[in-house]
């Protein structure tokens, strides 16, 4: 298969499997999405989704969040891991949002990445899913599959993102990154991987490990 044929097959297969992929994190607006994505770092969406309803019941906006102490936030989010760093980040970004952005999530990579505990991947998810601005957030599933499909060198997530943006049409980035995540979890996991179940990798060929 040519690289174009591989790309076309990936897009076609993912559209058939996941025509309307939903964001797997519980949220209701850009702020709650930002907090949920921040919490998901080195954790699972399922675990985050058990914690955010408790947190958002107390504070689902920056004004209520800064009424809580960092210690209170940490005690709620402890099960998701990295709670000392994440609680300081949530409190700090909420304070900055009030002081610099009238309490609203700014639709800007530069502004989002200036917040504490917010990296490029988190900013990319918020830009793509909250504001519908083309972005290609690369998580562990996308990084793994892009390498497995021999579409990137796999050296780092920055290179994987650059390659994904070069190979796939910009108009489908926001949908595609979710589709690849769902596919990776269901058909092409890191552990317990079965090539026979992985129709995309089986069809287009894979990088030799």
Rounded to the nearest 10 degrees, how much is the dihedral formed by the CA atoms of 46, 50, 56, 57? 160
- CA–CA separation, 12 vs 138, rounded Å? 20
Task: Please enumerate in sequence order all residues whose Cβ is within 8 A of that of 184, keeping only pairs 6 or more positions apart, or say none.
Answer: 141, 142, 144, 145
Does residue 145 contact residue 188 with C-beta atoms inside 8 Å?
A: yes
Q: Exactly one of 6, 121, 163, 175 is catalytic; which is it?
A: 121
Is 165 annotated in the active site? no
State the burial class of residue 43 (Cβ atoms within 10 Å of its Cβ: 0-12, 13-18, 19+). middle
Residue whose pair of structure tokens reads 């994505």 in the numeric block: 37
Phi, psi of 150 (to 5 degrees): 60, 35
Question: Which one of 3, 45, 78, 139 is the catalytic residue?
Answer: 139
Confirm whether 121 is a catalytic residue: yes
94, 62 contact by CB (below 8 A): yes
Strand, coil or helix: what is 198? coil
Residues serving a catalytic function are 121, 139
């Amino acid at each position: 298969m040519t690289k174009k044929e591989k790309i076309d097959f990936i897009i076609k297969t993912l559209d058939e499997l996941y025509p309307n992929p939903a964001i797997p994190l519980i949220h209701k607006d850009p702020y709650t999405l930002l907090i949920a994505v921040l919490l998901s770092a080195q954790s699972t969406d399922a675990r985050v989704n058990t914690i955010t309803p408790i947190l958002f019941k107390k504070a689902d906006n920056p004004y209520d969040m800064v009424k809580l102490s960092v210690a209170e936030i940490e005690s709620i989010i402890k099960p998701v891991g990295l709670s000392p760093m994440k609680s300081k980040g949530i409190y700090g970004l909420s304070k900055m949002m009030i002081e610099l952005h009238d309490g609203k999530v700014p639709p800007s990579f530069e502004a989002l990445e200036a917040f504490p505990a917010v990296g490029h991947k988190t900013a990319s998810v918020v830009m793509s899913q909250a504001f519908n601005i083309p972005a290609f957030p690369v998580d562990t599933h996308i990084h793994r599959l892009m390498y497995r499909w021999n579409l990137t060198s796999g050296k780092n997530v920055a290179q994987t993102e650059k390659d994904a943006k070069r190979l796939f049409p910009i108009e489908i980035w926001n949908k595609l990154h979710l589709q690849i995540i769902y596919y990776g979890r269901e058909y092409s996991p890191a552990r317990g991987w079965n090539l026979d179940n992985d129709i995309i990798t089986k069809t287009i060929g894979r990088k030799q490990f």
